[in-house]
Amino acid sequence: IAKRKGKNQYCVYTEEMGVKEVRRMELEKDLPRALEDDQFHLEYQPKWNVKTNSLYGFEALIRWDHPRLGVVPPIEFIPVAEENGIIVSVTKWTLETACKQCYEWSTHQGLNQPVAVNVSPSLFQTGTLYELIKHALDQSTLDPDKLEIEITESMMLHDVEDIIRQLNRIRQLGVKVSMDDFGTGYSSIGLLDTLPINAVKLDRIFTQDIEKPSKQAIIQAIIVLAESLDLDVVAEGVELEKDIDYLMKLGCFVMQGYYYSKPMKFEHIDEWASQREASLIK
Ligand code: C2E
Ligand code: MG
Ligand code: MG
Ligand code: MG
């Protein structure tokens, strides 16, 4: 068995390779085909406003239905797609699908909430994001304020001024921007007042140990800061009722997590929304 990629560039699995590496190589090999063969689907997870007791929006989360490996989660294949550049086509597909499906639930199901799409930092380096968004909006005829993008702090490692320029153009379309996993990355607290964003999403690590006074102090500081900048605060990873109580006391009123719903298929949104409504009336 050869130890590295052969001269003909086909992959060669060696005995020393771990299961993980073999799987990663398989994913890399199969990724171009996945797009062509329509092997991706989006699941949607609601964000719930506890102050108004109403739906705040949905986040789109990509899944790969691999013909042999079953459902592959995004943490496994998004990094691979980023590495080989396929992320641009994946993002194009995600934006188009999310816009189309959001248009559908707004016209057929009377749900007027926006959809949020996760965008990798590398999209800003390619400079193609604006065009992809514009195209997805035009194609779906979705109202631009029904689309949101979720970006992460790690993108601030790149040319910040260029990113701000790109974000401003995107926001001029009417699209909203939120900062995902806030508080975990190369913290962009110092940039919050210059970044053109609408919301911050408190990372799940804060919700995890919310009994700890130190975590509460950090959450509260973030909330005060966000409010002074007129940003919404969304808590990620809300699993338990006690999380909600703590978060509300600290001034956070938009929740997302398994407590409300796991990410669900598009076809189930309608049912979930009507059940949610029914349970509120009771
Ligand atoms: P994220 O954007 O921070 O999404 C939150 C992740 O936490 C999702 O995992 C979601 O299913 C999970 N989650 C939600 N509520 C709870 C909870 O109460 N408890 C726990 N333990 N987990 C919860 P998922 O779907 O596996 O996505 C992981 C990450 O992959 C996302 O993190 C996002 O960064 C990335 N991702 C997902 N879809 C896309 C996409 O279409 N494009 C790109 N570029 N990245 C994506
Ligand atoms: Mg997200
Ligand atoms: Mg997140
Ligand atoms: Mg997170």
**240-260: pLDDT as tens digits:** 999 999 999 999 999 999 999
pLDDT digits (tens, 9 = 90+) for 46-88: 999 999 999 999 999 999 999 999 999 999 999 999 999 999 9
Read off the tokens for 13.
Answer: 């699995």
- Residue 62 Cβ contacting ligand 1 at under 6 Å: yes
What is residue 199's three-state secondary structure? strand
Candidates 61, 95, 126: which one to mutate for ligand 1, based on the most atoms within 8 Å of Cβ?
Answer: 61
pLDDT digits (tens, 9 = 90+) for 206-251: 889 899 999 999 999 999 999 999 999 999 999 999 999 999 999 9
Does pLDDT of 282 surpass 60?
A: no
pLDDT digits (tens, 9 = 90+) for 16-49: 678 888 999 999 999 999 999 999 999 999 999 9
pLDDT digits (tens, 9 = 90+) for 177-192: 999 999 887 666 788 8
The residue among 190 and 198 whose pLDDT is bigger is: 198
Closest CA to 259 of 78, 246, 147: 246
C-alpha 201 to ligand 3 mean position (Å): 6
- Residue 240 Cβ contacting ligand 1 at under 6 Å: no
pTM given for the model:
0.93
pLDDT digits (tens, 9 = 90+) for 80-110: 999 999 999 999 999 999 999 999 999 887 7
What is the per-residue pLDDT for 2? 41
Q: Which atom of ligand 1 is nearest to the CA of 119?
A: 44
Yes or no: say if 170 and 137 are a contact pair by the CB < 8 Å rule. no
Average pLDDT, the chain: 91
The DSSP annotation for 46-96 comes to EEEETTTTEEEEEEEEEEEEETTTEEEPHHHHHHHHHHHSTHHHHHHHHHH
C-alpha 117 to ligand 4 mean position (Å): 14
- Residue 181 Cβ contacting ligand 1 at under 6 Å: yes
Instruction: Label residue 10 by pLDDT band (50, 70, 90).
Output: low
What is the per-residue pLDDT for 188? 67
